Amino acid sequence: MTEATQMRPSLSPRTDLEIHYQVAMSQPETHLFEVTLHLKGWRSDRLDLKMPVWTPGSYLVREYARHLQDFQAMGGGGQSLAWRKQSKNHWQVETVGVSEITVQYRIYANELTVRTNHLDITHGYFNGAALFFYIPEFQHCPIQVTIVPPRVDWPIATTLPAIPHQKHTFLAADYDTLVDSPFEVGYHRTYEFEALGKTHQFVLWGSGNIDPEQTVVDIKKIIETEAALFGGLPYDRYMFLLHIAAQGFGGLEHKNSCSLIYSRFGFQTDDRYHRFMQLVAHEFFHLWNVKRIRPKGLEVFDYEGENYTPSLWFSEGATSYYDITFPLRAGIYDARVFLKSLSKEISRYLTTPGRQVQPLSESSFDAWIKLYRRDSNSDNSQISYYLKGEMVSLLLDLRIRAKFNNQRSLDDVLRQLWQQFGQPEIGFTPEELQTVIESVAEEDLSDFFHRYLDTTEELPFDRYLEPFGLQVQPDTEDLEPFLGMTVRSENGREVVKFVEANSPARRAGLDPDDELLAIDSLRVKASDLSDRLKCYAAGETIHVSVFHQDELRTYRVTLTEPRPTSYQLVPVKDPSPAQKQALEGWLGTTWETIQS
């Protein structure tokens, strides 16, 4: 969520300071980036250097400074300069009478995610927040970056413009832009294509069963479909950077690019390929919703601490709703696949007990301490603002569509936000967001916002789906009595991973990390647990044996009535012509199509 052109006053009148970073990787097998900072025109007795503790788009304090080592500072004549650490991420250098300064340090990079750095014998990938210092009061200054690859055959991919006649050197307009512009250096493949008259790159590192040519075709469809909502593309060039790895799933949005990571063999089956295209649609949609249409709390970044906002439910949740919607509109999959995907999301929501504990606005505000710091009790105590935000966005879309016969929708909310806040890049407050939604809906939504953002009241799915001839139906076939714990096989052990609050397992005393051994003295594995429970009826008592911290314990557990583990969106019986027409207007397909 970093902005290339922040709408904020300059913190310093100085514009003559030259800032130049060099990033080398002479021994990539060590996973150490070698970073050199050159400053010219310095005019102060002290130089303060600070490493960000987080990166925009990923709301967790990650303490990037913990990977920094071998810090040293020198003057223009090569003399050593005294320095000291002021805090975990703050280095201060004594610079009396010194106008040229060189700072050197190394960053350990062996974590392959979209928000960290990774260097090995095949490539170097880095995010600006995890590699570069910022100089307080000089964050508005332009910054040059020179890359020194370890081999001549390592190409460089980034959206920063190259500086003419300076080898491997690029220019960031300011520090925010530097943070917002990841680099990929190494053995990757680049597929360049054009969409709506703009240049795009699909940069691919790693090998797997992806079909790059077909993927580019479908990415182009996503670009065109999303751009149609906003009336064009707000950039000159865009890069999709994909890391294919043994495992992993995720993305990080940037203003003119996105970083993606996906499973090596996750592209062959339709379901998994569709999930990848939803990931692409999600991160690309962020170039509008978050990167330019952004909450006030993220208008100016404080890289040293948490940046709070209760509006991530819209920034991420509405984006999650659209990430399953745009592949449908783009023709990548049909309405049946869309409804199946939406059913999975509704199932995740309705089977998360934490939805009855944590309100949606609190989920957004507490992202820094909860969403990215999951533990064995997380599903009991919290709800993802991605997931519930998606559900609330669905209800808002259906409410507006039903009222205006599909002539208005959540699309109109996004368009108005784009015009009012996105194009001028002005952050919106929660009140302003509500006002825009109410102006499109032409009604007071205070009660709606209170109920579904600020309380844990259940979402009325069927009430909002009924005008479109759909309802949520639980899958009730072949269910076992309810025990209330999740078990997985790990290294030959059957480990309890989750125990639901107020469940039979919790009331009996079972805990996460217990090793499940037997039920009624007969050994049981995670893969057999469901079938074993089907041998019993609700109300029966079973004896569950576990190792609890290496102590053998046996618990008496009384099973209760079965609970659905999944839900489906299904057509109502005997839909009216109005319901059929409404669904067709929403999904762009005939009623008969979803039943075939």
**What is the residue-averaged pLDDT of the chain?**
96
* Phi, psi torsion values for 258, nearest 5 degrees: -145, 150
Q: Is the pLDDT of residue 240 over 70?
A: yes
CB atoms within 10 A of CB 42: 22
Handedness of CA 280, 470, 408, 392 (dihedral sign): negative
First vs last Cα of the chain: how many Å apart?
Answer: 42
Q: What is the DSSP string of 377-429?
A: THHHH---HHHHHHHHHHHHHHHHHHHTTTSS-HHHHHHHHIIIIITTT-PBP
Instruction: Give the integer Cα–Cα distance in Å for 117 and 96.
Output: 34
Query: Residue 16: what pLDDT?
Result: 85
Name the pLDDT band for 11 (thresholds 50, 70, 90).
Answer: very low
CATH topology of domain 188-278: Zincin-like (3.30.2010)
Nearest alpha-carbon partner for 126 in 142, 113, 139: 113
- Given CA atoms 412, 416, 422, 426 in this order, what sign does their dihedral have? negative
Strand partners, 39: 19, 101
Q: What Rg, from alpha-carbon coordinates, does the chain have?
A: 27
Q: What CATH number is given for 288-471+569-596 in this structure? A: 1.10.390.10
Kindly report the CA angle at 439 between 435 and 443, in degrees rounded to 5? 95
pLDDT at residue 12, rounded to an integer: 39
What is the C-alpha separation between 216 and 202, in angstroms, rounded?
Answer: 7
Q: Tell the CATH topology of 18-187.
A: Immunoglobulin-like (2.60.40)
The amino acid that residue 360 corresponds to is L
All CATH 1.10.390.10 domain ranges of the chain, comma separated, are 288-471+569-596
Nearest CA among 91, 93, 131, 96 for reference residue 111: 131
As a whole number of angstroms, the distance between CA 142 and CA 574 comes to 64
pLDDT of 8 reads 36
Contact 180, 53 (CB under 8 A): no
pLDDT in tens, 252-299: 999 999 999 999 999 989 999 999 999 999 999 999 999 999 999 999
What DSSP designation does 457 have? P
Q: Are 93 and 44 in contact (CB under 8 A)?
A: no
Answering whether pTM is above 0.85, one says yes
Give the CATH number of domain 485-558: 2.30.42.10
Average pLDDT over residues 427-441: 98
Residue intervals in the chain for CATH 2.60.40.3650: 18-187
- Span(s) in the chain for CATH 2.30.42.10: 485-558
Average pLDDT, integer, range 389-418 = 98
Query: By C-alpha distance, which of 331, 205, 254 is closest to 587?
Result: 331
Assign 15 a pLDDT band (cuts: 50, 70, 90): low
The ranges of the chain annotated as CATH 3.30.2010 are 188-278
Is residue 2 very low, low, confident or very high in pLDDT (cuts 50, 70, 90)? Answer: very low
What is the pLDDT at residue 247?
86
Average pLDDT of the segment spanning 548-556? 97
- Check: CB of residue 105 under 8 Å from CB of residue 35: yes
Asked if residue 72 has pLDDT above 90, the reply is yes
Residues ≥6 apart with Cβ < 8 Å to 529? 483, 487, 516
> Could you give the CA distance from residue 486 to residue 477 in angstroms, rounded to a whole number?
20
